[in-house]
Structure 1
Amino acid sequence: MGSTFNGLVGLIILVLDIWAIINVLKSGVGLGPKILWILLILLLPVLGLIIWAIAGPRGGGSGFAPR
């Protein structure tokens, strides 16, 4: 049962990371900040997702990274 739960948690994190990357790509920030955000999300899946949720670029182009 434990491995099933761990697999489900891993799948949820993967889906959320993919969703975050798609949102970064659709944001209005420049190419450099997009690459940095995507690398952060890929290299630190859970922590990167949390940081992106708090300070990441949004669809309107606002966020941590300057345009």
Structure 2
Amino acid sequence: MADWGPVVIAVVLFVLLSPGLLFQLPGRGRVVEFGGMHTSGISILVHTIIFFGLLTIFLIAVGVHIYTG
């Protein structure tokens, strides 16, 4: 049996936390911008930290597992 939980969680978080897609933290003119489709180096760093934090919480603390087979 294969555990697809980490793969699914990582892909969903990657898509949702792409800077500029849904929101950008910090924005260009404001703290948070929604749907701006722009990005900067600092926003990439912030979104990376948020991604790995949420991924760690979901995989280690919550223990999401999706088994196939």
Q: Shorter-chain TM-score: what band? A: 0.3 to 0.5
Q: Greater strand percent: which structure? A: 2
TM-score by length of 2: 0.40
Q: Greater helix percent: which structure? A: 1
